Amino acid sequence: MSDSEELKFTKSSGNVFQDLGYRNADEHLLKAKFAMVINRVITEKSLTQIETAKLLGIDQPKVSRLSRGQLSGFSIDKLITFLILLNQDIEVNIKPHSRGVGRDNFDTHFSLNYLAC
């Protein structure tokens, strides 16, 4: 790129999946956030993929997919179950949207207080 070329920026919606045009973008973002926490807990507990598979009741290839963010085979319910099996407390806060915020700005903030085991 030369010095005379101008960079163009597009403001993000706050949801990369929405910005990329994914259908069900809110669901994709929520699953990604859950998977990040699951993978962090697995790392903090120093679990191998085989140990994780036994604990979660799935096979090792599925643990590998989960660790790489390949979430198409995992429902939100299943990811929540994994968090519970990993001894995580889950808090869900539901509140009305802030004034002027529409459906396109769905807030997926959540709080996971995980137990240090």
Rg of the chain over all Cα atoms, to the nearest angstrom? 18
Domain contains 80: yes
3-state DSSP call for residue 88? strand
Domain contains 29: yes
Domain contains 2: no
- CATH code (residue 23): 1.10.260.40
Rounded to an integer, what is the distance from CA 84 to the centroid of its chain?
Answer: 15
Domain contains 12: no
Domain contains 40: yes
Domain contains 5: no
Domain contains 10: no
pLDDT attached to residue 113: 55
pLDDT tens, per residue, the chain with 117 residues: 566 788 888 888 888 888 888 898 899 999 999 999 999 999 999 999 999 999 999 999 999 999 999 999 999 999 999 999 999 998 888 888 765 554 554 555 555 555 444
Tell me which DSSP letter residue 97 carries: P
Q: Which domain holds residue 59?
A: 18-94+106-114
- Identity of the residue numbered 66: L
Domain contains 47: yes
CA distance 63 to 52: 7
pLDDT attached to residue 4: 72
pLDDT attached to residue 117: 43
- Identity of the residue numbered 69: G
